[in-house]
Amino acid sequence: MEQAKLKMLLENHHTSAYRWAIFCCDGDRYEAEDVLQTVYLNVLERSASFEERSIFKTWLFSAVRNTASKAKRKLLRSLRHLQVAPTELPTVRPASVESIYRSQLRTRLQQILSDLSQRQRQVLELVFYHDLTVEAAAGVMGVSVGSARTHYHRGKNRLKEEIEKSGLHHDH
């Protein structure tokens, strides 16, 4: 594929690829930027080549997931050699009741999501936030379509149950 078309495809998918990279990097924006830079360089230098057998977005998201996984493994290896020092606590400023409620709601949703398996979180992220089909999500995740469907349905049902149980579905 020609360089100009690759650049255009990367630009068209940048926002969603960045959000996916943040997800794959457990919310670390700096790590996500590094992962995307690595992926983009590999694509543009042809070490990662899109062969047009799949949808570009699916292929790009797979590359992001794989690169993020490699980066995590590398980071974990280097962290084994470091001793982590405690950090200073951030300064707390007064918050409104509404912002406290939103913060508690966000925290509870994050807790519910973190209780799901990694595969369930991944497939829900890809389907709900990146508009991929379950089949395309399976390709990104490197699992069979049947496995992705199972993780999708289990994750969605568990999420629904936990939201209903915790009362988050009601308007406050």
What's the half-sphere exposure (Cβ side, CA atoms, 13 Å) at 103?
6
How many CB atoms sit inside 10 A of residue 162's CB?
17
Global pTM? 0.55
How many CB atoms sit inside 10 A of residue 151's CB?
24
Report all structural domains of the chain as residue ranges with CATH numbers, in order of start: 1-82 (1.10.1740), 94-172 (1.10.10.10)
Per-residue pLDDT band at 172 (split at 50, 70, 90): very low
- The distance from CA 124 to its chain's CA centroid, rounded to whole angstroms, is 10
Report yes or no: 134 and 148 within 8 Å, Cβ to Cβ. yes
Asked if the model's pLDDT at residue 35 lies above 70, the reply is yes
User: What are 89-130's pLDDT values in tens digits?
Assistant: 555 555 566 677 677 777 777 788 888 898 998 898 888 888
pLDDT score of 145 = 93
CA–CA distance, 98 with 63 (Å, rounded to integer): 39
Asked if the model's pLDDT at residue 85 lies above 50, the reply is no
CA–CA distance, 7 with 40 (Å, rounded to integer): 9
User: What are 61-80's pLDDT values in tens digits?
Assistant: 988 988 888 877 776 666 66
Task: Report CA dihedral (66, 67, 72, 77) to the nearest 10 degrees.
Answer: 110
11-38 burial string, b = 16+ CB within 10 Å, else e?
A: eebeebbbebbbbbbeebeebbebbbeb
40-47 LR contacts (CB < 8 Å, sep 24+): 40/10, 42/67, 43/6, 43/10, 44/3, 44/6, 44/7, 44/10
First to last CA, the chain: 52
